[in-house]
A and B are shown apart, each in its own frame.
Chain A
Amino acid sequence: DIQMTQSPSSLTASVGDRVTITCRASQRVSTYLNWYQQKPGKAPQLLIYAAFSLQSGVPSRFSGSGSGTDFSLTISSLQPEDFATYYCQQGRTFGQGTKVEIK
Chain B
Amino acid sequence: QVQLVESGGGVVRAGRALRLSCAPSGFTLSNYAMHWVRQAPGKGLEWVAVISHAGSGEYYADSVKGRFSISRDSSKNTLNLQMNSLRPEDTAIYYCARDPSVAGLRWYFDIWGRGTLVTVSS
| Most chain B CB within a 10 A radius of its CB, from A38, A43, A46 | A43
- Other-chain contact of B46, A36, A49, A94 (Cβ < 8 Å): A94
> Could you say which interface size class chain B belongs to?
10 to 19
Interface residues on A, range: 20 to 34
Mask, A19-61, CB within 8 Å of B = 1, is 0000000000000101010100011111001100001000000
Stretch at the interface among A10-18, A71-79, A84-92: A84-92
Instruction: Give the most central of A32, A50, A89, A90: most B CB within 10 Å.
Output: A89
Known: A43-B95, A92-B61. A97 touches B44 (CB 8 A): yes
Whether the pair A87, B45 counts as a contact (CB closer than 8 A) is: yes
CB pair B107 A44 closer than 8 Å: no
Q: Which of A34, A38, A43, A91 makes the CB contact (< 8 A) with B114? A: A43
Additional 9 contacts, C-beta under 8 A, given A96-B44, A97-B44 = A34-B107, A42-B114, A43-B114, A46-B109, A89-B109, A92-B61, A92-B107, A94-B44, A97-B45
Report B's interface with A, CB cutoff 8 A. 37, 44-47, 59, 61, 95, 106-110, 112-115
Cross-chain pairs A/B with CB under 8 angstroms, 19 sampled: A32-B107, A36-B109, A43-B95, A43-B114, A43-B115, A44-B45, A44-B95, A44-B109, A44-B112, A46-B109, A55-B110, A87-B45, A92-B47, A92-B107, A94-B47, A95-B44, A96-B44, A97-B44, A97-B45
Interface residue ranges, A against B (CB under 8 Å)? 32, 34, 36, 38, 42-46, 49-50, 55, 87, 89-97
